[in-house]
Structure 1
Amino acid sequence: MELFLYLDYLIVNKLNIPDDSIIVHLKQYLNDMCLIQFFSIDLLYFFLSLHNL
């Protein structure tokens, strides 16, 4: 749950991150949280598509 709240915050606010680098930041966060093995890049793109990025 915390992960999705973070993703939502990151994407909605973008934290002054260019759209094309959001995926890089998400992957880094997932790596830092040791969660990257539970996510595929397709899932990340799907999540981003929900926000029309």
Structure 2
Amino acid sequence: MHTVEMLERLLALASQMGYVIRQEWLGGSGGGECQFGGRRYIFVDLALSVV
């Protein structure tokens, strides 16, 4: 399985688990998981490579 395909599958799974997926330009600082206002978020930094 290619890295991009694996990332897409994992993000889809996280979405099914109730996470809001945010793909944002974060300048290379990295993404992560957080909770805010009773919702769960996963941030994906578009400035970073998936490989």
Larger Rg: 2
**Greater relative contact order (Cα 8 A, min sep 6): structure 1 or 2?**
1
TM-score tier, shorter chain, comes to 0.3 to 0.5
Name the one with the larger strand percent: 2
Name the one with the larger helix percent: 1
TM-score, length-normalised on structure 1?
0.40
TM-score, length-normalised on structure 2?
0.41
